[in-house]
Amino acid sequence: MALAMMTWTRAAFPFLLVVAVSSQAKLVEEKEWVSAKASDGYGHEVKRDIMVTVFYDDATPQPWPVLILNHGRAGTTQGRADLGRAQYSVASRWFVERGFLVAVPTRIGYGVTGGPDIEDTGYCAQKNYPPGYAAAAAQTVTVLEWLRTRKEVARDRAVVAGQSFGGTTAITVASMNVPGVRATINFAGTGGGDPKGRPDDPCAAWKLKELFAGYGKTSRIPTLWIYSENDHYSGPKLPREFFEGFREAGGAGEFVQFPPTGEDGHSLFTREPGWWQPKVLEFLKANGFAQ
C-alpha cells in the first residue's frame, strides 16, 4: 500500500501529573503537537500539526515499548469536531501499567486538530475504503517515528491498537510491516456503518471484505481482533468473515467475539474493559510484552 511521505516536529507542552502511583512513581500525561501529512481519496496532500496525548509511568524501567491507540470516526462533521482531544484515559492507564508508553493521536479532521476530512471514504453506494485508512495509517507511522526520537523509548518494540475506524487502521498498519511494530490489536474494526439507519449492514460490505483480504496478503505480524455479538455497525457475522478473508490471504491473527453488551456492542472497548483486558494481556505476553 502506498504511504504518503511524512515529516514531524516536536513542540512540547508542560507535563501534567494526573495520578500519583507511589511516592517515587507517577503517571504522567503530555500534550504535544506533531507535524504530519497525508493524502485524501483524491490524492490531495494535507499538512497539519496533530495533537498527540502521551501517557507513561516515569518509574517504569526504560526503554519503554510503545503502544499507539487510534480513535474511531464519527459520521458527521459536528461529531468529528466534538471529539476534542482523544485520550482513552482508562485504557491508556491500563496499558501504561503493563509497561508501555501510550500515544493517542487526534488525527487530521477531528477535535482540536481540525482540518479537512481526509479520511472520508465516499458515499455509501460508492465507497472507496483504502485511501481513508491509508491516511490514518500514515499519521500513525508519523507518530511512531516521532516517538522513536525519545531516548527513553524502545525503537524496535511497538504495538498499534485502535477502536472502530482505528481498529481497521491497526490492521492497515499490520499490512505495511512497519519496522519495529511487532503486533496490532483491532477493537471492533469496520467502516461504513450506521447502527440506526442500517443496523448490522455496513456500506458495501463486500468492499470491506476485499479490503481486509488485501491486508492479509502482506501482513506478517500477529494481530488480535476483538468484537461483540451485538455490534450494530458491522453485525454478528461480518467481523468473522473479515477476519477469515484476512487469514486465508496469508495474515496471522486471532479472532475473539464477546457476548452482547448494552444496546450496541460497538462500544465494548470503553464499556467493558474487564472483558477484553485478560485476552489482550495474554496476547501481549505471547508477543514479548507486559512480562
pLDDT in tens, 208-218: 999 999 999 99
Judged against a pLDDT cut of 60, whether residue 14 lies above it is answered with no
User: Mean pLDDT, to the nearest integer, of 148-153?
Assistant: 96
Task: Judge whether 123 lies within some domain.
Answer: yes
* The residue type at 97: E
Q: Where residue 2 falls among pLDDT bands split at 50, 70, 90?
A: very low
Residue 145 sits in a domain whose CATH number is 3.40.50.1820
The number of C-alpha atoms within 13 Å of 17 and in the hemisphere containing its C-beta is 8
Q: What's the DSSP call for residue 199?
A: T
Q: Where residue 26 falls among pLDDT bands split at 50, 70, 90?
A: confident
User: Mean pLDDT, to the nearest integer, of 45-55?
Assistant: 98
* The residue type at 146: W
> Cα separation of 175 and 194, whole Å?
26
* The residue type at 94: W
pTM score over 0.85: yes
pLDDT at res. 290: 80
Grid cell for residue 171: 490492521
User: Mean pLDDT, to the nearest integer, of 158-177?
Assistant: 98
Q: Which of 1-5, 169-173, 220-224, 268-272 has the lowest mean pLDDT?
A: 1-5
* Nearest residue to 121 (alpha-carbon basis) of 202, 194, 41: 41
Task: Judge whether 30 lies within some domain.
Answer: yes
Task: Judge whether 125 lies within some domain.
Answer: yes
Q: Total structural domains in the chain?
A: 1
Task: Judge whether 202 lies within some domain.
Answer: yes
Judged against a pLDDT cut of 50, whether residue 278 lies above it is answered with yes
Query: pLDDT digits over 176-187, tens only?
Result: 999 999 999 999
Give the other-Cβ count within 10 Å of 84's Cβ: 11
Domain span holding position 246:
10-286
Task: Judge whether 4 lies within some domain.
Answer: no
Judged against a pLDDT cut of 60, whether residue 7 lies above it is answered with no
Task: Judge whether 1 lies within some domain.
Answer: no
Beta strands in 128-239 (DSSP E): 153-163, 181-187, 223-228
Task: Judge whether 187 lies within some domain.
Answer: yes
Task: Judge whether 254 lies within some domain.
Answer: yes
